[in-house]
Chains A and B, each alone.
Chain A
Amino acid sequence: SAVISQKPSRDICQRGTSLTIQCQVDSQVTMMFWYRQQPGQSLTLIATANQGSEATYESGFVIDKFPISRPNLTFSTLTVSNMSPEDSSIYLCSARTSGYIQETQYFGPGTRLLVL
């Protein structure tokens, strides 16, 4: 299994500012992802965080708005840039572990962001 922690757990930010969310996994994992969960909605994949290279973004998400870093196998950051109230959401880090006969995907506790 993998235990994922995120910082901060929540924040209230002013529009136009940026927030960087940190994600730490307690073991080396094969893949790391960032998801967004808007109020009352399901999860939407923002991007796959690639170690040592640029993240792979899903349709509708761009690097200038959501820059992502993954310097090693256990750590990643997501920045929400130039925030607007529409960015108010829960941002979740996720990690996939692969074993010999199985793989599983875990989620962090989320970062609850409110943009005023």
Chain B
Amino acid sequence: GEDVEQSLFLSVREGDSSVINCTYTDSSSTYLYWYKQEPGAGLQLLTYIFSNMDMKQDQRLTVLLNKKDKHLSLRIADTQTGDSAIYFCAERNGYALNFGKGTSLLVTP
């Protein structure tokens, strides 16, 4: 299948903004998702963006989509220690979701 790429690790200070990046390869992807996984837990849907949108904002979260470069980003404003988790980017490819390997976000006081 197509590869979804994410950086593996990101560390930020509490109160700063976090930006998690993702690249995908299937230009026909219809939806792109961001999920959060805390230790020992399942996947929590954070937000998603339809492929005809460039940006979506939801409280502290901002998703930017650059279809030309097949680049997706998730910005978390005012990052808190409770935001420490693994963040997965996923593209909808036909009927299935294709996931990246996840970015571990560590928020330090």
Contact = CB atoms under 8 A, between A and B. Distances in A.
B42 A109 contact: yes
Given A43-B88, A102-B50, A110 B101 contact: no
Interface residues of B, number: 21
Nearest to A10: B40
Interface stretch (B58-66, B75-83, B92-100): B92-100
A107 interface: yes
Contacts of B42: 92, 107-110
A29 interface: no
B45 A42 contact: no
A107 B43 contact: yes
Contact of B45 (A105, A110, A112): A105
Interface of B (DSSP majority class): strand
Interface in A100-116: 102-110, 112
Contacts of B48: 104
A94 to B, nearest CB: 8
Contact of B100 (A42, A45, A109): A42
Contacts of A105: 33, 45, 92, 97
A107 B102 CA distance: 16
Contact of B88 (A31, A42, A109, A110): A42
Contacts of A102: 50
B32 to A, nearest CB: 11
In the A-B complex, the 3 residue pairs with the smallest Cβ-Cβ separation, listed nearest first, are: A109-B42, A107-B43, A110-B42
7 contacts: A43-B90, A48-B96, A92-B43, A94-B97, A108-B42, A110-B41, A112-B40
Interface of B: 31, 33, 35, 40-45, 48, 50, 88, 90, 92, 95-97, 99-102
